[in-house]
Amino acid sequence: MKENDVRSLPGIPFLLGVLVAVAVAIWLFASGIGPDPDHDGPRSLAMIFGGIALGILAFISLIGLYTVQPNQSAVLSLFGKYVGTVKDNGLRWNNPFFSKRKISLRVRNFESGKLKVNELDGSPIEIAAVIVWRVVDSAEAVFNVDDYESFVHIQSEAALRAMATSYPYDQHDEDQISLRSHPNEISDRLKHHLDERLTEAGVDVIEARISHLAYAPEIAHAMLQRQQANAVIAARTRIVAGAVGMVEMALQELQKNGVVDLDEERKAAMVSNLLVVLCGDRSTQPIVNAGTLY
């Protein structure tokens, strides 16, 4: 069911008209019950009943008055049939027999609870997200789901679980998307999942971002050790690659400038010494040769 805008009358002029009608009804009733100088009894039964009828009509008309706040809409229905949606702000008036349900169109947000799920590799993780959303179709929010706020919360957690199980926690390949290394891509995928689930309820997801991401406590220590080992291996790999390049450059410069002529055995010794200096964890202590080269 799609939203249909419907016209409403300004409430303040109508309220003033009702007050005038009430005053006239009181005057008619008071005048009608006054003594008739020519006959015993009230002056005019017609005026009495006219005043009562006008008062009842004015009272019923007051039921049609309602207020619409900024960024709010009123969904109108008549005996279970959807009539339309009013978004005009202020005091408004429609048919008194219309039932009216107010729906907030303001931007809202909530943070899901920490969910414990298994990521793509099967490791248990804790994950939570912040969802920013608003209602864009009041009719769908009222008539397509029973409770649209509860629907948003439950479907958001379901979408977060489905998304978390589709990606690994850490990146194993260069082109692989992971929960920890690609926050922007993960947020876009989560928003896409939410849009698919919440469109039926007339809800638009403005933003969805991961607010908490961690390994489950039972494996957190082991995973921390694995991350540290991976970091050490990556650092060592880069150090070795840089050291090999520096050694190669040093040998080329020595040969190019003719500084010293080294045979293969002494080249190997020089390479070994340079790699120890460049790749070692601690500072090396040089040994100065005070004799000849040979």
- Condensed to tens digits (0 to 9), the pLDDT of residues 187-232 reads 999 999 999 999 889 999 999 999 998 888 776 666 676 677 777 7
The domain boundary residue, chosen from 86, 103, 120? 103
pLDDT at 274: 72
Same domain assignment for residues 114 and 205: yes
Residue 249 region by backbone torsions, left for phi larger than 0, else alpha for psi between -120 and 50, else beta: alpha
DSSP reduced 3-state for 293 = coil
Residue ranges making up the domain that contains 68:
9-103
Read off the pLDDT of residues 271-291 as tens digits, 9 standing for 90 and up. 777 777 766 666 666 665 655
pLDDT along the chain (294 residues), means of 10: 84 86 83 62 69 85 90 92 91 91 93 88 88 93 91 92 88 80 89 91 92 79 69 77 79 71 70 70 63 55
Same domain assignment for residues 194 and 149: yes
pTM of this prediction?
0.67
The answer to whether position 166 is within a domain reads yes
Domain containing residue 186: CATH number = 3.30.479.30
pLDDT at 256: 75
What's the gap between Cα 114 and its chain centre? 15
The answer to whether position 27 is within a domain reads yes
The domain boundary residue, chosen from 187, 215, 243? 215
pLDDT at 223: 65
Same domain assignment for residues 237 and 185: no
Q: Which of 73, 15, 24 is nearest to 47 (CA)?
A: 24
The answer to whether position 17 is within a domain reads yes
The DSSP bridge partners found for residue 67 are: 91
